[in-house]
A and B are shown apart, each in its own frame.
Chain A
Amino acid sequence: MIDHIVNAMDVHKRFGKVEVLKGVSLQVSLGEVVCIIGASGSGKTTFLRTLNGLETIDGGAITVNGHHVGYELDKRGQLVKASPKALAKVRSEIGFVFQRFNLWPHMTAIENIIEAPIRIRGIDKAEAIANAEELLRRVKLSDKRDVYPGKLSGGQQQRVAIARSLAMKPALMLFDEPTSALDPETIGEVLDVMKELALGGMTMVCVTHEMGFAREVSDRVVMMDGGVIIEEGTPEHFFMNPTHERTKQFLSKIL
């Protein structure tokens, strides 16, 4: 079980009366890249958000890197709702990239990146800055070091956001439609950064509409519909011989 970075079992989630997740199970191994696709409303973003506790779950269980998400073991070994501190600890090991970047606009690019390592990890400022500069170099934004997010393009903002997540040296990176809010011409630069991450061995779960990326980079493609996973497989299998009728429909529309 420990070689699974992500182990989600029979996850249920409801918003009011609507059940958005109707029992989703997913295991992700170390270094694996999994792309989740599906129409809007299929529950894929909600599922991704449950993986780091941004959404609570109503049933099932999730462990990431061996820690329960949203729950912790109390002194008697009982599973109880996680304290804010315990949840924060688990989250600090999981990177999350938002569709709309959510960079902190009152901080420069480098300040966005060093904030959590300094405040949360207690890393020395000089070391945090050195790490951040290396990350900016990796996302090819060294020249934007001291620029505020408001002056960056969408693609640049998203690359800083990825660097911000990486600064915590996460065991897992979650991407929630990272290119959906971007101008077409900046999508490529973000996908390139993600590809490089994948090649570097990062474990990744990406909710995406980028079929090219899914086909080229992912180890496994998962199709969600109506709050459940209806089909999964290697990209070759998935794009060449989808078995499920709904998958065929979806792919014919999107490809």
Chain B
Amino acid sequence: MIALGSFDWKTFFNYLVFPDSVTWWAILTTVGVAVAAQVFGVIFGVISALMQMSKSRILRFLAGAYVWFFRGTPVIIQIFFMYFGAALFLGFDPFPPHAHLVFITVPGAILAGTAALAINEGAYMSEIVRAGIAAVDKGQMEAALTVGMTRGQGMRRIVLPQAGRVIMPPLGNEFNNMLKTTALLNFIGVKEIFFDAETRISSTFKYPEFLAGAAVLYLILTTLWGFVQKRIENKFNESDRDHAVDMPSFASRLLGGTRKPTLADETTMAIGGHE
């Protein structure tokens, strides 16, 4: 069936240029799951990072164990465990075929998959957020304390917004990864882009056409995200645009240019003031 050199361009272009409603839903699912998983991943990451920096030994241990476990095991196993294994531990199935979220109903697989990706992502974000907070000069929190803020207020108002500038570039890369990692949810039956391509392959046997088509869809999503990321980073850098915390150009990032490893140090210097 599959003869090399007989790539069916028409099928390929049709898939990309005239996606049917099923494909649109698949794209929407991929984006929706990725965004939701990333948002919760960041939330878990911030919580975990703060726990790791807390004075309480128990909180530090719990956060450390979380990061250790979820970074140390394959995400695909975590996804399977979440979807098929959660019922074993809970005694009821938290992910039924039609799960009711506050005002919408979604397939349980999407819920389980998003939860698994979010928890996994939180472990990676934890380290990124921690590095971002550590890059903010200690004097910043002290200044917050001296005007009467509590540590919590100083963290929210003073430290985290500055850490954000350091966190944003790796966070962008994490979301780029997330967009592609959602393809794994195909294995628990989430109808995302890869699932959509596979479905079409199984009925047409046009492997390369639909695989390439799916790849291009992911490429479009990650490229669009690249533009958004750039805008967000510019916004974060508004306050010291003239200090030129060197950000790589969009093109260099797109083409795999390396990020300056000294970004965090430079930001610390910018924050620390003169000398």
Contacts and interface: CB of A to CB of B under 8 A. Distances in A.
Interface stretch (B8-16, B27-35, B125-133, B151-159): B151-159
Interface residues of A, number: 36
Contact of A168 (B140, B143, B148, B158): B148
Contacts of B157: 115, 119
A100 B139 contact: yes
Contacts of B265: none
Contacts of A239: none
B148 A181 contact: no
Contacts, number: 89
B2 interface: no
A91 B273 contact: no
Nearest to B275: A181
Contact of A95 (B146, B162, B273): B146
Interface stretch (A3-11, A135-143, A148-156, A194-202): A148-156
Contacts of A119: 149, 153, 157
B139 A102 contact: yes
B149 to A, nearest CB: 6
A175 to B, nearest CB: 12
Given A102-B142, A181-B274, A148 B150 contact: no
A245 B157 CA distance: 49
A106 B145 contact: no
A238 interface: no
Interface string A28-56: 00000000000000000000000010100
A116 B148 contact: yes
Contacts of B147: 91-92, 115-116, 120, 164-165, 168
Contacts of B148: 88-89, 91-93, 116, 120, 168
17 contacts: A52-B146, A54-B142, A96-B143, A96-B146, A98-B142, A100-B274, A103-B273, A104-B158, A104-B162, A105-B270, A106-B162, A106-B165, A106-B239, A107-B239, A120-B153, A150-B239, A168-B147
Interface of B: 137, 139-140, 142-153, 157-158, 161-162, 165, 239-240, 242-243, 270-275
Interface of A: 52, 54, 84-85, 88-89, 91-96, 98, 100-107, 115-116, 119-120, 148-151, 154, 157, 161, 164-165, 168, 181
